[in-house]
Amino acid sequence: MSTALPRTVSIFGATGSVGTSTLDLIRLDRSNYRVLALTANSNAKQLANLAREFDAEVAVIADTNQYGTLKNLLADTSIEVAAGPDSLIAAAALGADWTMAAIVGCVGLPPTLAALQSGKTVALANKEALVSAGGLMMAQAKQAGATLLPVDSEHNAIFQCLQGGRIDQVRKITLTASGGPFRTWSREQMASVTPEQAVAHPNWDMGAKISVDSATMMNKGLELIEAHHLFPVGLENIDILVHPQSVIHSMVEYKDCSTIAQLGSPDMRIPIASAMAWPERMVTDCAPLNLAKIAKLDFEAPDYERFPALQLARNAIERGGAVPAILNAANEIAVAAFLKGDVQFLAITEIVSRVIDSYSPPEPINLADIFEIDKEARERAIAMIEDARV
Ligand code: NDP
């Protein structure tokens, strides 16, 4: 990666939790970064404010209905305004030195692939894209000579733990999991969970979708699939360990039984800063770790019965082919329906499981296949939700 400064950066999903944390870090070191593209889905006002503040070259809004609003808000600037999915891809193809992929959902896949195609550095938060199209994305990165840096705190931790070793020296990777807000709840208690309860994560402040995923532990399932692509040590060598304090973000055990762990306060700006400055380190204003104050770190085995999403994800990797993309698409629909109050909390993984069992498309070989699988899984999930309502 070019370390020449100022470095050009683009942020996809700039108005979200990861996007704004990334911009917070840039605020600390403005002179070293030049912002090319900032994007959002529909929040034109926030996008316009950010584009102005960071003097972006391009502001792209995915929702074309918001184009006029964004254009008006930036009328007195020289910032180029664009809208729609193709404009997201065009913005990614500008080839920023460093791109943050922080759109939520598989919809972030095309711009992420376009950014990888430019052969530069992509910091990946958008796990759904990797879950749905892992093989394709890793091949694209390799072919283009791009650098893919994981931002998810667990994968960033593993990436850091691997800096002193090689993947072929690894015996086991342990993904830690907070266990989410319902770690100690029975299935009966979880039956009446509200969206407000599900998005209230005990340790992390995140967007609504990933917060619900953490509550069902589908987030850990998606991360298992993510880890399987990023760190090819074999599924049987990737464990999940519940660690409620979210201080150890993941661990790598080498062949000699030395275990290297990465620790830090539960603040996404820490893994983002690591990906942003890599291979250097940057100064942040994050809270340093105070282990004397934390005093105690707890661990427990994950409960696959109360959190069936974990097994669904393991099975999805084992079955391979279209299954991870189906799992992801059905989950996106089920989580959105839960947040709208259309389905109960426990129905989320039930819907995912039923959609996976309902059909077996052939293995995807290109992006069009992935989109077809994604589309059909969404339609099936929506139909199931609608059927359950009548
Ligand atoms: P948020 O919901 O906070 O933000 C999502 C961003 O994506 C917003 O900028 C949103 O724009 C944009 N967006 C939403 N839908 C679309 C669309 N259809 N087209 C284009 N842009 C869209 O999510 P998070 O920041 O929490 O998460 C982003 C990604 O990072 C997810 O994949 C998540 O799993 C992953 N991640 C998040 C972590 C966290 O701490 N939040 C930790 C690790 C990974 P708008 O504001 O206009 O809606």
Annotate 71-110 with b (16+ C-beta within 10 A) or e (fewer). bebbeeeebebbbeeebbbbbbebebbbbbbbbbbbbbbb
Indicate the burial class of 296 (C-beta count within 10 angstroms; 0-12, 13-18, 19 or more).
exposed
Asked if residue 1 has pLDDT above 70, the reply is: no
Counting from 1 in the atom list of ligand 1, the atom nearest the Cα of 153 is 43
Question: Cα–Cα distance between 257 and 185 in angstroms, integer?
Answer: 34
> Which residue among 18, 112, 178 has the greatest number of ligand 1 atoms within 8 angstroms of its CB, and so is best to mutate?
18
Ligand 1: atom nearest CA of 88 is: 20
CA distance 58 to 389: 43
State yes or no: pLDDT of 2 exceeds 60.
Answer: no
pLDDT digit string, tens, across residues 138-184: 999 999 999 999 999 999 999 999 998 999 999 999 999 999 999 99
Instruction: Report which residue type is found at 171.
Output: R
Q: pLDDT exceeding 90 applies to what percent of the chain?
A: 96
Rounded CA-CA distance 159/275 in Å is 10
The pLDDT mean for the chain works out to 96
At the top level of CATH, the class of 320-390 is mainly alpha
pLDDT for 13-57, tens place per residue?
Answer: 999 999 999 999 999 999 999 999 999 999 999 999 999 999 999
- Mutation test residue for ligand 1: of 11, 41, 209, the one with most atoms within 8 Å of CB: 41
Ligand 1 centroid – CA 170 distance (Å) = 32
CB 44 within 8 A of CB 75: no
Using CB distances shorter than 6 Å, the residues near ligand 1 are 13-19, 40-43, 62, 102-104, 107, 125-128, 152, 204, 206-207, 209-210, 268
The pLDDT of 85-95, averaged and rounded, is: 97
Read off the tokens for 303.
Answer: 């409960």
d(CA 328, CA 307): 16
pLDDT tens for residues 220-231? 999 999 999 999
User: What's the predicted TM-score (pTM) here?
Assistant: 0.97
**What CATH number labels 7-150?**
3.40.50.720
Q: Which residue has the tokens 């920023």?
A: 96
- Measured in Å, residue 210 CA sits from the centre of ligand 1 at 9
pLDDT tier at 187, thresholds 50, 70, 90? very high
What's the pLDDT score for residue 147? 98
**Protein residue whose Cα sits closest to atom 48 of ligand 1:** 41
Q: How far is the CA of 13 from the centre of ligand 1 (A)?
A: 6
pLDDT at position 117 over 80: yes
Protein residue with its CA nearest to atom 27 in ligand 1? 104
Residue 388: which pLDDT band, with cuts at 50, 70 and 90? confident
> Domain-by-domain residue ranges, the chain?
7-150, 153-316, 320-390
Q: How confident is the model at residue 3 (pLDDT cuts 50, 70, 90)?
A: low
Residue 223 CA to residue 317 CA, distance in Å, equals 11
Q: Is the pLDDT of residue 390 over 90?
A: no
* 315-362 pLDDT, tens digit each: 999 999 999 999 999 999 999 999 999 999 999 999 999 999 999 999
